[in-house]
Amino acid sequence: MSDGAGTVERRGSIRQRGVGWDLVKEVFKTNLTRRLKRRSLRTIRLIAVDEYATHMGHRYMTVVLDLETGQILRAAQGRDAGALIPFLRTLESAGAHLDAVALDLWPAYRLAGPTVFLLVTVVHDPLHPVAKANRAIDATRRELPHAANIPPRKVIRD
């Protein structure tokens, strides 16, 4: 059965049950909180920290993953050190001994890790350095014909 918006309802769907998305979200949050309370943070050795935009690049969340299990350990509003340091302190107080933290090049994250774990190895996500290098190569490639005074029609374009 179609709802007119191009989606198909299945038997037992949220709409048929009369349950709103707010309730579903609350159930998931409660379940995640309960599961994380039971999980020992002491065994965590490798984490990854990244941010993602929640509203068209204007609001961000910081996400921390356990790289060995793939489990989300923390999601917090913002992409500053204040979104990360409280969780790092929680790991420290739980007795976790981090071997490495995978980060992108966002300055707030680079500064937050060593603030709590002084001797942790920081591994950078290769996406951002490679993207910056590619942009620099493209800019140089575009400037070379102008610098050599080659007429535009003789330049091979991609």
pLDDT tens string 44-65: 999 999 888 887 767 888 899 9
The pLDDT, as a whole number, for residue 45 is 92
> Are the CB atoms for 101 and 49 separated by under 8 Å?
yes
Q: Label residue 44 exposed, middle or buried (CB < 10 Å: 0-12, 13-18, 19+).
A: buried
The pLDDT, as a whole number, for residue 53 is 84
Tokens (6 digits) for 121: 């190895």
Q: Which H or E run includes 73?
A: strand 72-77
CA distance 34 to 75: 15
What residue ranges of the chain have pLDDT lower than 70? Answer: 1-17, 57, 113-114, 151-158
Give, in order, the Cα–Cα distances in Å from 36 to each of 5, 39, 71. 37, 5, 10
The pLDDT, as a whole number, for residue 135 is 92
The pLDDT, as a whole number, for residue 46 is 92
CATH number of this structure's domain 42-124, picked from the four choices 3.30.420.10, 1.10.150.120, 3.90.1150.10, 3.40.50.2300 = 3.30.420.10
> Are the CB atoms for 73 and 94 separated by under 8 Å?
no
Tokens (6 digits) for 94: 């739980």
Give, in order, the Cα–Cα distances in Å from 1 to each of 12, 14, 36. 12, 14, 38
Domain boundaries along the sequence of the chain:
1-38, 42-124, 126-158
pLDDT tens string 4-15: 444 445 555 666
